[in-house]
Structure 1
Amino acid sequence: MRLLSVTFAVLASLVLSATPASAAPAGADFYGTPVVDLETYAPGSIVRREPVPQLDVLGSRTERILYRSADPRDRAVAVSGLLITPSRAWDGPGPRPVIAYAPGSYGIADRCSGSSELGLTTTMPALLPLLAQGYQVVTTDYQGLGTPGEYEFLGRVAGARAVLDAARAAARETDAPVVVYGYSAGGVASAAAAELASTYAPDVTVIGAYVGAAPTDPVLRVEGQDGTAWAATMLYTINGLLGAHPERAGEIRDLFNHRGRAALDAALDFCTTDALAYGSLQSTELTADGSSLAALMTGPVLGPLTAANTIGLTAPTLPVMIVQGVNDRSVGIEQSRLLADRWRASGAADITVREFDFGTELVPAFDHPAANAAAYPEVIGWIDRLVASDHARR
């Protein structure tokens, strides 16, 4: 396996366009300056780019990009991300593969986006093993995160489209094979992209999807967070629904009492440490009728919206690898097991599941990032086999 020693070195650190793009006007905000006639660009077109030389790691060239996507209502939206291209020639079969990388969540405030200064501290280390293999990597910040508009946290359609249009941005000129890759909240976007790739982006050669520790069932996610030190993050899901359905904001907010509505408002400006500092919450103390948030998410108001964002009911037509640590308490292992069961029941034919047991019941936070790091050698081997098979078919 190419550059395996580099990959293992990185693991240690992890555990501790069709239309030419233009630069942002001098002195203007890269993320917020409107793109003129955005709707005339094809999905995946890079409409703005700038070099980020301080991120040129492992001999790569890094750019911050703004590309055209479409929201769940098919309106044109600009989404930000990173495009990182190794300088050395690709020595594998066919064109250089593209990894369309969906970052995990650092929060739902604009300052938490993956290409922002805050997000980069987590995003870049996770990319190093992929760059070391010579893959091109493109990341997404998701629709409305860092850029104007509402961020639909864990939104199935919005997340999938953000990832797939990032893949278009990277692979359009080369028709390179694409693997979508996501862990934790990013795993949700990767899983959604796997389900929607054949219908939303049939022009992109998506050959596989890596889905790590993904909370693809929103109700299970909320149940797992309720009452814990990270309970404030369960409010992200509701804020995501509010952003996606502004016409229903009144009836959704009416499900909460005064304290609950205040917590929802506060969470809009949370990054990771803010949610932890907010303290433990019991959802029954936030709702108008004393119901748990999980119960509300299966009720008449939130139930249909929750169901629309539940992943696993549409079989992907491409190979998928699911990875998680069995003692992960950030995202319960039942999430990955349920996703695999649902996909297989829906007719998915190529699902690989890898579970890691580190025996760390006393250090529950370890399993969540560690499984992603430990999986790299197997995942890279899996990607290489997919690339070889795709080349043989062409």
Structure 2
Amino acid sequence: MIRSTRRRAGVLGLALAVGGVLLGAAPAVAAPESAAPGTVTASETLPRDLWYPGSADAKKLTYWTTGATGEPALSTGTVFVPEGPAPEGGWPVLSWAHGTVGLGDGCAPSVVGPGARERDFAYLGTWLDQGYAVVASDYAGLGTPGTMAYLDGKSEAHNVVDMVKAGRAVEPSLSNTWVAIGQSQGAGAAITTARYATEFGGPDLDYRGAVGTGVPAYIENIVALAGPGFPPVALPGGLTVYSLYILAGLNAAHPELDLPSLLNDSGRSWLAKAETECYDQLKSSAGGLVIGSLFAKPLSTIPNIQGFLADYMGVPETGYDKPFFMGQGLKDTDIIMPSTLLLASTLARNGEPVTFKTYPTDHSGTMAASLPDTLPFVRALFDGETPAPSTGS
């Protein structure tokens, strides 16, 4: 059932103008015996210009987590503490999963701030004003050894969960109750985290649920079609960037696939650019680039590439144990509505505790537009309530 749904989504995505494409990985580094997930190796005060509004204190830290290979990997991240006295039991925690910023170390939010500064400052400032602490992983390989496993859902889930552990290690005022939230790449990370949070977090954390806006649904089916002549035309700039990051991340995470052997000289050159250039720079330099012109052989040359990509970057369709919220913009051209709607309907059909709502706005606009729904949804989670599943909007 899962496989057939993903095939339908791939055909749907192709028919609807090759809707968004997004992937990436940090190889393991030599890990000491103290490399338990969430173990902090360094902590420092974050520069004030990177503090979200409503923060009383903010730190940057380096911590151990699990990378794409399943081995220990280092990640950096940030911790933001709200103003005022902590409530009894500590500040409830939101683990923020950021959207696409790039794969180069200089792109990390803990180094330069969020990619969409005005948008993210307003959004996360709202949550801080509501009395939530925010912890935010850069993801393993972004600012640490290796290359970020772009859209590798399980690796990102480890990073998001372990960021909560790390944040609590350096900030005693943080509670062990937490919710995952994210946008775009981070929405996929947050919803995949929702599937694995209880397992990955263990008994020391009290996971309550998740929120994702602009969830990258069934992207793997479009990626699997890539090859000479596909896509046949230049995509909108953002989609071209996502495509290049997918290829670079996949190559870093799984060198055994020998992805460069499927590319021509131009493809290998763009692969190298994608490993270092941040989103805005790559979007500018790749304007008009046709992804299909970068291939010498199709990705389908790799045995079982469809199944491999589904495991690597597919959003889980079953196995959730806590409520989660998905928001989608009706005018979103990065993550197309029909694919996300198919995911929501599949989750509902499978009996998963999903709430799905749509908004008359674009990819970025969905974050703010969803707040009248997500603020009470998250408050209910922390209050111990279980919002009734709904996909009626």
Q: TM-score range by the shorter chain?
A: 0.7 to 0.9
Identity score, percent: 26
Tell me the alpha carbon deviations over residues 127-147 of structure 1, each in whole angstroms, 9 at most, x when there is no partner. Answer: 101111110100000010111
Matched AA of 2:64: R
Q: Which residue of 1 aligns with 2:269?
A: 262
Report if aligned partners of 1:49, 1:66 keep a CA contact under 8 Å in 2: yes
Change (3 A) 1:298 1:136: farther
Structure 1 residue aligned with 2:243: 234
- Report the counterpart of residue 167 of structure 1 in structure 2: 164
Equivalence for 1:287: 295
Distance 1:152 1:53 in 2: 26
1:362 aligns to what? none
Change in 2 beyond 3 A, CA 1:59/1:112: closer
**Counterpart Cα distance in 2 of 1:63 and 1:263:** 35
Amino acid at match of 1:79: S
Query: Residues of 1 paired with 2:132 and 2:175: CA distance?
Result: 14
Aligned to 1:373: 368
Distance 1:49 1:335 in 2: 40
What is the deviation of 1:35?
9.9
Query: Does residue 190 of structure 2 align to residue 190 of structure 1?
Result: yes
Q: 1:258 offset after TM fit, Å?
A: 1.9
SS of residue paired to 1:145: coil
Alpha-carbon distance, 1:120 to partner: 6.5
Name the count of aligned residue pairs: 341
1:320 to 320, 324, 342: 324
Following superposition, the deviation at residue 205 of structure 1 comes to 1.2
Query: What is the match of residue 245 of structure 1?
Result: 254
Give the deviation of 1:197 after TM superposition.
1.3
Structure 2 counterparts to residues 212-227 of structure 1, below 5 A: 212-219=213-220, 222=223, 226=231, 227=234
The alignment's TM-score, normalised by the length of structure 2, stands at: 0.79
Following the alignment from structure 1 to structure 2, what is the Cα–Cα distance between the partners of residues 108 and 298? 26
Aligned partner of residue 368 in structure 1, secondary structure: coil
Q: Which amino acid letter does the alignment assign opposite residue 283 of structure 2?
A: L
Give the alignment partner of residue 352 of structure 1, picking from 339, 342, 355.
Answer: 355
- Alpha-carbon shift at residue 257 of structure 1 (Å): 1.8
* TM-score between both structures, scaled by the size of structure 1: 0.79
The answer (yes or no) to whether the contact 2:184–2:213 under 8 Å persists in 1 is yes
Work out which structure has the larger RCO, using CA pairs closer than 8 Å and 6 or more positions apart in sequence: 2
For residues 287-329 of structure 1, the C-alpha deviation after alignment (integer angstroms, 9 at most, x for no partner) is 114x5xxxx3696263333121211333311101000111100
Deviation of the 1:96 alpha carbon: 2.0
Unaligned runs of 5+ in 1: 1-33, 359-366
Which residue is 1:40 aligned to? 34
Select 1:383's aligned residue among 370, 378, 382. Answer: 378
Which residue of structure 2 lines up, in the alignment, with residue 81 of structure 1?
77
Task: After TM superposition, give the deviation of residue 245 of structure 1 in Å.
Answer: 1.1
Aligned residue for 1:154? Answer: 151
Q: Which amino acid aligns with 1:100?
A: S
Distance 2:106 2:300 in 1: 28
Match of 1:10 in 2: none
| Aligned residue in 1 for 2:3 | none
Separation in 1, partners of 2:316, 2:216? 11
Once the two structures are TM-superposed, the CA of residue 72 in structure 1 deviates from its matched residue by 3.4
Provide Cα deviations, 1:186-225, integer angstroms capped at 9, x if missing partner: 1111111111112222322110110110214233565899
RMSD (Å) for aligned C-alpha atoms:
2.7
| Partners of 2:29 and 2:270 in 1: CA distance | 34
Matches within 5 A, 1:9-88: 38-52=32-46, 54=48, 55-56=50-51, 57-88=53-84
Cα deviation code 1:307-366 (max 9, x no counterpart): 212113333111010001111001111232122123234431x211110014xxxxxxxx
8 Å CA contact retained: 2:40, 2:64: yes
Greater Cα offset, 189-198 or 274-283: 274-283
Gaps of 5+ in 2: 1-27, 387-393
Residue deviations 1:269-303 (CA, integer Å, cap 9, x gap): 221212221112323222114x5xxxx36962633
Alignment of 1:92-111 (within 5 A): 95-111=90-106
Partner of 1:200: 200
For each residue in 1:10-53, what CA deviation from the matched residue of structure 2 results, as whole angstroms up to 9, or x when unmatched? xxxxxxxxxxxxxxxxxxxxxxxx99964414211222110125
The answer to whether the 8 Å contact 2:78/2:137 transfers is yes
Residues 214, 335 of structure 1: 8 Å contact kept: no
